[in-house]
Structure 1
Amino acid sequence: MSLSSYTDISKSRDYPPVQPLLTTYPKTLMGDRKRSFKAEWYKIHPWLEYSRILDKSVFESGFNNWKKATYKEGGFRIHARSECHKQAMVAWKDYETAVKNNRTLLNVLNKEHDKQIKDNREYMKTIAEVLLLTATQNIAQRGHDESAESDNRGNFIAILETIAKHDKTLKKRLHSIHNAKYTSKAIQNEVLSCLADMVRTKIIEVFSIMADETQDIKKKKQISLVLRYYYSGAIHESFLHFESADQVNAAGLTEKIIHMLESHGLEYRDNLVGQSYDGASVMSGKHAGVQARIKDVAKHAFYIHCSAHCLHLVLVDTVKERSGSHVHKKWLAVQREMFEGAPRELQRLSDTRWACRYISLRNTLDRLPSIKRVLQEVVEEHNGDRSVEAQGLLAQLDLKFIVHLVTLCKIFGEARLLSDILQFSGHCVLSTTGGRRVDASKGGFCSYFFYPVIDQMLSQLSRRFSNQNCNIMNGIQALNPKSDAFLKEDVLFSLGRMYSSTIEDLGHEIHQFRRILDRKIQCIYSVSSTVELASFMEPYSEVFFELFKLCEISVAIPISTASCERSFSTLKLVKTHLRSTMADERVSNLGVLSIESKRANELNLDEFVDLFARNHKNRRIQLL
């Protein structure tokens, strides 16, 4: 059997000689004494191997004549002087040197490779930072002509060039690599898409949607979709997407909204707990509107008419029904037109935000003596139609008019405060329901001018805010620590049935949670709102699963679509006359980064590079 067949010796030149260190080696009788292999021979002959199986030193056919092992003319020394041994040693040392050099070269190459990846990642982060800057500041990125010969290559290239003046590495990259600069419009779109996706990506267990539509600069219908949800101890309203609407009927709008939810991986069938739109029939239709169609596929998506819009309609109807109020509207409009162009103009009447008319009423009331003097001067000018209009306005300026003005100013002042509350994204629906009920006794309002307006407003409030959704509000009120109905089982059971809670588990959780909360309150721990209640319960969400889910739902229920309307302002800044040909996806991504600028500026750019590297195909620079 050849030596190579034994398993306890070196198998190739990649392995060092096998040199086992034993306490004792097997002894063999040689002459008059027993002799054995000695471990000290390893130091004299580093190439020496020993096989325990054979009890031999491994060279040639094997050697175990331990008596002659150290002879000058025999044993290990005679083998070490042989030609075959010298050739084998030269080959072995050459191989070791080659391997060592190759490993050194590999280490150098690896270090160079790591440095190149690091430089590439820093370059991509710089590109992302510039695009983030332009997006959050609503600055155009691209120029009409971005070629090297162009005098104006756009803000994105210009900012990169400015940074490159102070960054030699960036300057070298921009001016030396002609096929991997990563500044093209396609790369910009990919980078913006990754950044927007990172802003959108949050763990949302239950959420509501708010949608509204507007026209962009090219008269194209755009749907704005906003999500409302509870996350990390606070209420969030986050802009999700702009989507162009080719069809503005209920079926087309429903398809667009569902497509937006699906494209962002949101589980709407079970997790969508509310939807809020304006009162247009195409959105709010009970049987064939958008809300009804979405309710068919998302059984918990109860419709909430935008409360701010309801308040607007209350004010509109109040003014229309009361003739004196209607006269005030016309009087304010005419006198505003008369003073138009003057160094100090009066506040314009808003046709869409009636709660803001308080400013017009307040300004008119504060400046009434001055307005009267000016009108008298205009009458004395005898300047044709202008003087006639001024005389007509003066004729209406009597005591009855002034009392009406004071009355409307007080009412619209309260309405404006309520309107601001309804439009604030941080409020939950409970903060707006506690004061909804009004005492039936209106003796304090019984005056000749005040009573009719108040009576009309109460009638409109009752008609527009008394609907089936008040049942949801009453259930949610039981999660308000300041409510008399706090943690009442029958009320919470009713709410739980609407959202498919397990009623038996919910009953046990209410009983146990009430005891825990009482102990915490005794330890000077106060809970004063539903958001604070949800934050307190969040660490125990697995224990109180059903109750915590109802808390999340209660703060996710939408109040108004004001966040959608705020996104329209951003749309006007993003898609301007000079940027009117921008593609819809880019508009949406820029809108997300602009509206959610705080989150965008907190993004981890290393995570962005990882995401971009995974998404980007056929890349010419290595990032991972």
Structure 2
Amino acid sequence: MKHLSEKIKKHEHTKMHMDNCLKFALLGKANIATQLDDGHRLCIRRHNDEVDKNRYILSKLIDCVKFCGAFELALRGHDETEASENPGIFRGLVNFASSLDAALKEHLEGATVFRGTSKTIQNELLDCMLTVVKEYIHEEVTAADYIAIQADETSDVSVQCQLALVLRYIDRYNVIQERFFEFMPIENANAENIAQALLERMSALIPPKDKTKLIAQVYDGASVMRGATGGVQRKVMDVYENAHYVHCYAHQLNLVMQQATSKIPKVSTFFSELGGFCAFFSRSPKRTSVLDDVVGSRLPRACATRWNFHSRSVNTVYEHRDDLLKCFKTIQDSGNFDAVTAREAGGFVRMLEDDTFCFFLQLFHKIMPHVDMLFQQLQKRNIDPIFIKAAISKFADSIRNIRSSIFTVQEEIPAAKRQRTLGPAEQHRIAIEVCDTIWAQTKERFAFTGHLVSSTLLHGELFSQHAKTFPSAALNATVEAYPMLNKARLKTELSLVYENPEFEKCSGAVPLYQFFMENNLQCTFSETVNLLKILITTPMTSAESERCFSTLKRIKTFLRSTMSQERLNALAMLSMEKKIVKDMPNFNNKVIDRFATQKERRAKFLYK
């Protein structure tokens, strides 16, 4: 007891005393974290189990939407109630899938919060799928060295103008890709609106520092898109200086003729009437049999998705005009055909006897062969600036000769039963306008031919010739068209390519490019590889917008009035880029994550 005070002070500094003080202070107070730990883990486990179930169900619904989109099937039906016998393909496909999947069937029968088959969910899933694919394409575009855009405008059944946009580039696997990107609605299809829509979209895809990546622009079908001073291509080049305008060589005839007809109503009417001939016979084997018996020659069938201005149509009707008259009169007077057929045949008889129709038939019969000849000449591999200039000059002389012989054309029109809907002076004026328009538009389209000349540098068939005489003129034209290339280094590399027989075996730009990449020669032949990338990216022989045009027509057929712009874009993307949707890893999970974060949802789709 004598040393108690001293011992207490000493004990207060010991670890045991401090631990006991702590326990005494917490005596009667529960450890909440310890108590809640088991409950918290159980709650998370239940939440994640529910998320697993919801994500599985939503993945099956996404698969059903992907199936409908890939095969261009209408999602909705007229009556989507449970008792409906025709609920639509999407609902029918979901019901069929539920018969094979017990979990999906249980969900559809017992779901109260989230069922997943409503129109709203369909639209939201389509929107999320579209966003995921566009982000994938955007990543590829960002990684690409060069890009070309292809655009085509058309109108849907509600006369709403749609601009189909396609991007062409070499992807990360060194494969050339032409990706459909979207349909853009245009209120008024003039140069200003179309250029503004394209520039807005390109500014989002290509950063300002990478403006030189856009090296080509292709437009097919829209007359306002061309124009050296005020057309879309000029407005785009003002922003992207390397975006050379390249017309579609595969549809060169269509473009020139369409430009001529788009501004001249009488000529547009003529081609519309001309297309009626093959349409009349294509709808009935009975009519075709009469055509075979009387004429002995089939009319070339018009393409369902393009304006048909093939020279065969003009030539066939012109050369067999008398036989066609006899054929239509036979159908009209035989009494073996229904009233509608007889009435249409009578209309064609009056058309073939019409002075104006015969005048334009004769005029275009003279023009068509020259346009076809120019097209064939510019498809040759061995061309140079001098050859192109000579071919265009020869075409110009031919058009001028036709223009000066308009009165001669008038005199050759069959005189029988002339019905003068247009006087000679008006016919003469329109014919001159047609010739002037064709020549002006042809000259404008071939203003840039640098890509054609550049392609001759890397034709394997010409390597032996180039090894003897280096194509300096073609090299100068190439560097002038694409100033990002180093002329001196490119000349050195090409000289080595021409002398090495290994490169001669590669027929075409794509095989040659693949040879460089597979053998890791892209650093050694850097400028040649850059030139190959430019040539491969530039659409020289086909316009991918043709494919988009036909797909747009098919999609619009089954969703005419109930489809919003977002549904149109998403369904078109699922149809045209089905390979991306199929090959993209974790596509369904990416769509579900975007779907879950799009807005606050009662159903749980995100893990804790």
2:565 to 554, 570, 584: 584
- Supply the distance in 2 between the matched residues of 1:334 and 1:191 (Cα, whole angstroms): 42
Q: Distance in 2 between matches of 1:490 and 1:609?
A: 55
Of 572, 589, 594 in structure 2, the residue corresponding to residue 609 of structure 1 is 589
Whether the 8 Å CA contact 1:610–1:623 is kept in 2: the answer is no
| One-letter amino acid of the counterpart of residue 209, structure 1 | I
What's the TM-score once normalised by structure 1's chain length?
0.62
Q: Deviations over 1:98-128 (max 9, x none)?
A: 97x9877777666555544433332222111
How far apart, in 2, do the equivalents of 1:355 and 1:281 lie?
15
Deviation at 1:181, TM superposition (A): 2.7
Residue 239 of structure 1, CA deviation:
1.6
In structure 1, the residue matched to 2:232 is 290
Greater radius of gyration (CA): 1
- Distance, in Å, in 1 between the alignment partners of 2:272 and 2:105 is 65
Which residue does 1:528 correspond to in 2?
507
Residue range with higher mean Cα deviation, 223-232 or 258-267: 258-267
Q: Is the 1:347–1:360 Cα contact (8 Å) retained in structure 2? A: no
- Compute the TM-score of the two structures, normalised by the length of structure 2: 0.64
Paired residue type of 1:622: F
> Do the aligned partners of 2:220 and 2:543 also contact (CA within 8 Å) in 1?
no
Alignment partner, residue 409 of structure 2: none
Can you list the C-alpha shifts for 1:298-354, whole angstroms capped at 9, x where unaligned? 111111233244334678999xxxxxxxxxx99999997997963425436659755
SS of 1:239's equivalent in the other structure is strand
Residue 177 of structure 2 is aligned to residue 236 of structure 1: yes
The one-letter code matched in structure 2 to 1:244 is P
The 3-state SS of whatever aligns with 1:288 is coil
In 1, the alpha carbon distance for the partners of 2:547 and 2:277 equals 31
Contact persistence 1:489–1:507 (CA under 8 A): no
2:158 is the alignment partner of 1:218: yes
1:140, CA displacement in angstroms?
A: 1.6
**Alignment-mate amino acid for residue 270 of structure 1:** T
What corresponds to 2:4 in structure 1? Answer: none
Aligned residue number for residue 605 of structure 2: 622
Query: For the aligned residues, what is the CA RMSD?
Result: 5.6
Deviations 1:536-556 (A, max 9, x none): 233444554443232212122
CA deviation after TM superposition for structure 1 residue 156, in Å: 1.9
Verify: 1:468 aligned to 2:447, yes or no: yes
Q: Which residue number corresponds to residue 53 of structure 1?
A: none
In the alignment, is residue 563 of structure 1 matched against residue 539 of structure 2? no
Residue in 2 that maps onto 1:498: 481
How far did 1:532 drift?
Answer: 1.6
Deviation, structure 1 residue 253 = 0.9
Measured in 1, the distance between the counterparts of 2:41 and 2:482 equals: 61
Q: Deviations over 1:113-167 (max 9, x none)?
A: 5544433332222111111111122212134554556665432222212211221
Distance 1:414 1:564 in 2: 22
Partner Cα distance (1:144, 1:370) in 2: 49
Give, in whole Å, the separation in 2 of the partners of 1:571 and 1:525.
42
Whether contact under 8 Å (2:228, 2:444) holds in the other structure is no
Q: Distance in 1 between matches of 2:61 and 2:550?
A: 27
Aligned partners of 1:592 and 1:382: how far apart in 2?
50
Q: Does 1:347 align with 2:299?
A: yes
Change (3 A) 1:255 1:208: same
**CA 1:168/1:335 → structure 2, altered by over 3 Å: closer, same or farther?**
closer
Corresponding residue of 1:70: none
Aligned counterpart, 1:270: 212
Separation in 2 of the partners of 1:330 and 1:224?
Answer: 24
The within-5 A match list for 1:169-568 is 169-200=103-134, 201-202=136-137, 203-204=140-141, 205=144, 206-231=146-171, 232-263=173-204, 269-278=211-220, 281-312=223-254, 342-344=286-288, 345=291, 346-347=298-299, 350=302, 356=310, 358=312, 437=387, 464=443, 467-483=446-462, 484=465, 488=471, 491-492=474-475, 494-501=477-484, 503=486, 507-508=488-489, 510-512=491-493, 515=496, 521-522=501-502, 526-538=505-517, 539-541=520-522, 544-559=525-540, 562-568=543-549
Q: Compared with structure 1, are the counterparts of its residues 416 and 547 closer, same or farther at alpha carbon in structure 2 (3 Å cutoff)?
A: closer
Distance 1:151 1:621, change over 3 A: farther
Aligned 8 A contact 1:284 1:291 in 2 = yes
Ranges in structure 1 where 5+ consecutive residues have no aligned partner = 7-58, 63-83, 319-328, 394-403, 423-428, 442-450
2:165·2:182 contact (CA, 8 Å) conserved in 1? yes
Query: Do residues 167 (structure 1) and 110 (structure 2) align?
Result: no
Distance 2:88 2:460 in 1: 55
What is the identity percentage for the equivalent residue pairs of Structure 1 and Structure 2? 23
1:480-527: CA deviations, max 9, x gaps?
333355885664454334334152xx53355357547866x45x9832
Structure 1 residue identity aligned to 2:573: V
Asked whether the equivalents of residues 132 and 601 of structure 1 are also in contact (C-alpha less than 8 Å), the reply is no
